[in-house]
Chains A and B, each alone.
Chain A
Amino acid sequence: MAKTFTKPRSLSDQYTHYCPGCTHGVIHRLVAETIDELGVMERTVGIAPVGCAVLAYNYFNCDFQEAAHGRAPAMATGIKRVRPDLVVFTYQGDGDLASIGMGEIVHAANRGEKFTTIFVNNAVYGMTGGQMAPTTMPGQRTTTSPAGRDVQQVGMPIKVAELLAALQTPAFISRQTVIDPKSIRKAKQAIRRAFEYQVAGRCFSLVEVLSTCPTNWGKTPLEAVDWVRDTMLPYYPLGDLKTPED
């Protein structure tokens, strides 16, 4: 009988450490499928962030480097500049990329570094126990905003995709989510396009993926999916914000 569904070659056999209902795993799979389809696993280097995905290198079968918190885009720049033939991607959370690593990502994008960033926005610091992130929604309760995010004190959530799309350097910038089959298929297309632009040597590419963190949101996996749809989507609209053709 012909197999119709298998695990991508680029994913390892390890069980992940992600919590039940966490969508980090789905996003891993989409990246792995893309690497398989482009046939580039043997020349791909991933950069793991500091965050729940720090152990991503256990789940992919390509080479990996482990960055310091927020510095993945600088390390990717280093690799890409000395080995432009390699396919390089960073996989970063919202604390990692939009807080401590904001400087690195803005400058890498603005220089047009030809690597791909998968940016996982789950509106909190997952790994350290649910503290407020720059992407935390107004009024959202976290362990460091116990009364809810007070936008008078800490401003509005940062729309990373829009912010980077505003740079004048050509790039591919898209926002997607993975909360149902339809959105997963779209996210896959965007991730594939992002890698294709890199492989073609065209531009910097980033896909922001709205993701769940049931554990730190204090929700069941299904409630978490609803929360992405009802609370995050209206503020973080999906779609391609910028293509190099623009």
Chain B
Amino acid sequence: MGKILMKGNEAIGEAAIRAGCLNYFAYPITPQSEVAEYLSWRMPEVGGVFLQGESEVAVGYMLFGAAGAGERVFTTSSSPGISLMSEAISYIAAAQLPAVFVNIIRGGPGLGGILPSQGDYFQATKGGGHGDYRLLVMAPASVQETAEMVMQAFPLAEKYRNPVMILGDGLIGQMMEPVEFPDHLRTAPSNKDEWASSGMSTRGSSRRNLVKSLFLDPETLNNQNLLLKAKYDRMKREEVRYEGYNLQGDYRVLIVSYGTMSRVCRTAVDNLKAQGLEVGLLRPQTLFPFPERAIREAAGKSTCRAVISIEMSMGQMVEDVERSVRGIRSVHWYGKCGGDVPTPEEIMEVVRDLDDGGCQTPGCICDKE
């Protein structure tokens, strides 16, 4: 199959089907309602399940139930909807079930706006719901990568028996780019007989499977949390992904940026190079686990004077960047969070200031005094 032009939102729907996920529950919300609109006819066409739930609260638990029954399932939403699903996400993580959530972020907090944003970084990576859980969080920067990450998300969710979140922004959902899908990818979840409440006769077993999250005994609950932690530690070892751009040269500033924002930064890096200023760009593709070591190593390059996190939020990822750099370089932030995506020109100016030795960003985390 060749490349076709597709909106990010539609590519998400198609990618899930190609990955063998034939179960989708959702509630409309801008800027991702096109996923539901696409799957409302596409799922029936492939014999799958499409259901518009009465709320995101309900949708979260529809996923919980379906995942608990051992079936591949996913949903898509945008920021306020993900807030409502966060309770279910906590339960799903606690019950150790695979499920995929796509958040096409819009501006927040509250009702915010409907334009692109990356304001849900904390929610996704530090837990929007309660308790000691983590999501494996992937952040695509193009429609093609969105489709690929959606397809990878299902096996990853099953490998860890943990929810996976794809974190995109309004632009990723709304823009059209060429995308290519593999013809057929469908595989069935492999280990589900061990945990799914799929009916004992389904799996030919006389041992029942229980899906639950209540552990009243302190030692049992602690052990349960240790078990979860071991999975998250394993993610940190095995699933870190990032992409470097212009990291071979003698860059003077290192930009860390993800998603749509990183594309704008790439243009800024190209333009600055043409003007004689070398700048490196490191793009985390997984936000949890975070590419801590890669960032520290890139920051440690002898020519590198400063590191800056550029994000469509008021300084969220920068906390992880600062943690990764561990004080070996000064760390800065630049961002906007109203729906206007910072332009390459703006970024070039911010980076030039940094190279000249002075961070000019009001409210940056650096100590300017």
B52 contacts the other chain (Cβ, under 8 Å)?
yes
Shortest Cβ gap from B30 to chain A (Å): 6
B110 partner residues in chain A, CB cutoff 8 A: 68
**Is A129 a contact of B33 with CB atoms below 8 Å?**
yes
State whether the Cβ of B123 lies closer than 8 Å to any Cβ in chain A.
no
Alpha-carbon separation in the docked complex, A100 to B56 (Å)? 8
CB-CB under 8 A for A144 and B28, given A131-B33, A131-B37: yes
B55 CB-CB contact with A under 8 Å: yes
Q: Do B54 and A144 have beta carbons less than 8 Å apart?
A: no
Task: Name the B residues within 8 Å of A99 (CB-CB).
Answer: 27, 54-55
A68 touches B52 (CB 8 A): no
Number of chain A residues whose Cβ lies closer than 8 Å to a Cβ of chain B: 24
Cβ contact within 8 Å between B54 and A131: no
Is A144 a contact partner of B80 (Cβ separation < 8 A)? Answer: no
CA distance A26 to B270 in the complex (A): 55
Once bound together, how far apart are the Cα atoms of A68 and B40, in whole Å? Answer: 26
Q: Is the CB of A125 within 8 A of B28?
A: yes
Chain A contacts with B in 121-142, Cβ cutoff 8 A: 125, 127-129, 131-132, 134
- Chain A residues, CB < 8 A from B310: none
Q: Would you list which residues of chain B between 23 and 80 have a CB under 8 Å from chain A?
A: 27-30, 33, 36-37, 40-41, 44, 51-52, 54-57, 80
Interface flag for A79 (CB, 8 Å) = no
- What's the least CB distance linking B56 to chain A, in Å? 8
* Count of chain B residues near A, Cβ 8 A: 19
| Cα separation A134 to B58 with both chains bound (whole Å) | 14
| A66, CB-defined interface residue at 8 Å | yes
CB contacts (< 8 Å) of B111 on chain A: these are 50, 54, 66, 68
Query: Which of B28, B41, B80 is A131 in contact with, Cβ under 8 Å?
Result: B28
**Interface contact B33-A70, CB-CB below 8 Å:** no
- Could you say which residues of chain B place their CB within 8 Å of the CB of A100? 27, 54-57
Bound Cα distance from A128 to B26, whole angstroms: 14
Cα A100 to Cα B33 with chains together (Å): 16
* Residues of chain B lying within 8 A (CB to CB) of residue A144: 28, 36-37, 40, 52
Within 8 Å of chain B (Cβ to Cβ): is A147?
yes
* Contacts A68-B111, A131-B28, A134-B54; A146 near B33 (Cβ below 8 A): no
Tell which of A70, A131, A147 touches B52, judged by Cβ atoms closer than 8 Å. A131
Residues of B within 8 A of A143 (CB): 33, 37, 40
Contact with A along B216-242 (1 / 0, CB 8 A): 000000000000000000000000000
Name the A residues within 8 Å of B28 (CB-CB): 95, 125, 128-129, 131, 144
- With both beta carbons as reference points, the residue of chain B lying nearest to A150 in the complex is identified as B44
In the complex, which of the residues B36, B41, B44, B80 contacts A68, with contact meaning CB atoms closer than 8 Å?
Answer: B80
A69 to B58, CA, bound (A): 14
The answer to whether the Cβ of A52 comes within 8 Å of any Cβ in the partner chain is: no
Cβ B41 vs Cβ A146 within 8 A: yes
A146–B41 Cα distance when bound, in Å, is 7
CB-defined contacts of B56 to chain A, threshold 8 Å: 100
Which chain A residue lies CB-closest to B39?
A144
Measured in the bound complex, the distance between the Cα atoms of B28 and A70 in whole Å is 13
| A145 at the B interface (CB under 8 A) | yes
Using Cβ atoms and an 8 Å threshold, which residues of chain A touch B55?
70, 99-100
A86: B residues at CB distance < 8 A: none
A-B contact pairs, 19 of them (CB 8 A): A50-B111, A68-B111, A100-B57, A125-B28, A128-B28, A128-B33, A129-B37, A131-B28, A131-B33, A131-B36, A131-B37, A134-B54, A143-B37, A143-B40, A145-B40, A146-B40, A146-B41, A154-B51, A154-B52
Q: Which 5 A-B pairs have CB atoms at the shortest separation, nearest pair first?
A: A100-B55, A131-B28, A144-B40, A128-B28, A143-B37
A sample of 13 more A-B contacts (CB under 8 A), given A100-B56, A129-B33, A144-B52, is A50-B111, A95-B28, A99-B55, A100-B27, A128-B33, A129-B28, A131-B36, A143-B37, A144-B28, A145-B40, A146-B41, A147-B44, A153-B51
